[in-house]
Each structure stands twice: as structure tokens, then as C-alpha cells.
Structure 1
Amino acid sequence: MTIEQGLILGAYILCVGFFGLITSRNMIRALMSLEPIFNAIALNFITLSNLFDAREIGEIFSLFIIAVGAAEAATGLSIALSIHRNRRSTRIDQSNLLKW
């Protein structure tokens, strides 16, 4: 894979993730749309680190991104479950947490 192909693939995955994040009404679907965004960022780090001959740095940053994505998924799912227990819905437009 060339550098251009890697960056184009990363940009495509990033756009798909942003489109899913913007158009989703369900909180779980919005959290699932964040994962392709993180993967696109990791792919761009690895591609650009190959360009600058610093493969180790890109791989280390990618591991940190994967760890942050796993922590985000666990935390986000626990928040979504607690909102579902209290509100009986995980729709973003219906949950207003500032009201009592």
C-alpha cells in the first residue's frame, strides 16, 4: 500500500465515522461511530510514520489510540446503560439530562 492509498483510505474511514456520528439518533450507534474515527486516526499515524521513517512512533501512538478507544467504549456503554435504565430510551434527541 502506498502512502497516498493509506491516507485516502484513512480519510474515507474518517468520513464514514463522522457521517455515522452526525446522523445517528441512538446513543449506542453514536458510540459505535466513534470507533472508525479512532481507527482512521491510527491508520493515518502509521501511514505518516512510514513516510518519515519512524515506524515505532506511529505504532506506539496507534496502541495508545486503541487503548483510549477501549476505555471510551467501556465508559460510554456504562453511561448508556445507566441512561437506559433511568429513561427507558437511548435516543439522543429524547434525553435531556439537565431536567429533573
Structure 2
Amino acid sequence: MSALTAYHLVALVLLAFGVFGFVRRKSLVGMLISVELMLNGAGLSIAASGQLTDADAAMAQLSSLLVMGLAAAEATLALAIILVVAKRFGSSGTEDVTELKG
């Protein structure tokens, strides 16, 4: 097994854990952590492909930085939404928040 295959398998495991956690979690914070796992798997796959193939390594690093920036922006926005939902409904569980009208 080559090193690239090993990195892609680890990235696939991160993606699978993220999808499983997103589907199975009941809290919004748990879902946010699962999305972060999925984005980390994608960044790992991009960085490994750029370093271990004939692709341009600088572009792979920039793409990984873009994924990291996207993850940070998504986390900030999602946490703000979670805080508003928790303040308004008194809970951050998805089963308690069924409709978002005042």
C-alpha cells in the first residue's frame, strides 16, 4: 500500500465518522463537530494528493488553507446560530427546534 493510499484511507475514515456523527447526533454542537471532521478529511486528502503526486504542491497547500478557512467561517456562523437558537428555545437539541417562526 502506498503512502497516498494510506492518507486517503485516513481521510475516508474521517469523512465516514463525520457523516455518521452528523446523521446520529441530536445536538447542534455535535452536528457542528461532525461537519468539522468531514472538512478535515477533505483537507487531508487534498494536501496528501498535492504532496505525493505530480500535482503542484503549492496549489494543494493553498487549497488546504482554503478548506481550513471555510471550516473556521462555518464554525463561527454555526456557533452564532446555535447561540441564538439556544437563547430563543432554551435548548440546542434538534428535536426541540421543529419550526423557526415567532
Partner of 1:82: 84
Q: What is the DSSP-based 3-state SS (H/G/I as helix, E as strand, rest coil) of the residue aligned with 1:43?
A: helix
Q: What is the DSSP-based 3-state SS (H/G/I as helix, E as strand, rest coil) of the residue aligned with 2:26?
A: coil
Which letter maps to 1:24? R
| Runs (4+) off by over 6 Å | none
Partner of 1:72: 74
Partner of 1:5: 6
Question: Matches of residues 46-65 of structure 1 in structure 2 within 5 Å?
Answer: 46-50=47-51, 51-65=53-67
Q: What is the DSSP-based 3-state SS (H/G/I as helix, E as strand, rest coil) of the residue aligned with 2:93?
A: coil
Normalized against structure 2, the TM-score is what? 0.91
Structure 2 distance, partners of 1:52, 1:9, is 21
Which letter maps to 2:49? L
Structure 2 distance, partners of 1:74, 1:63, is 17
Normalized against structure 1, the TM-score is what? 0.93
How many residue pairs align between the two structures? 100
In structure 2, list runs of 5 or more residues that go unmatched.
none
1:99 CA displacement: 4.0
1:48 CA displacement: 1.6
Which letter maps to 2:66? F
In structure 1, list runs of 5 or more residues that go unmatched.
none
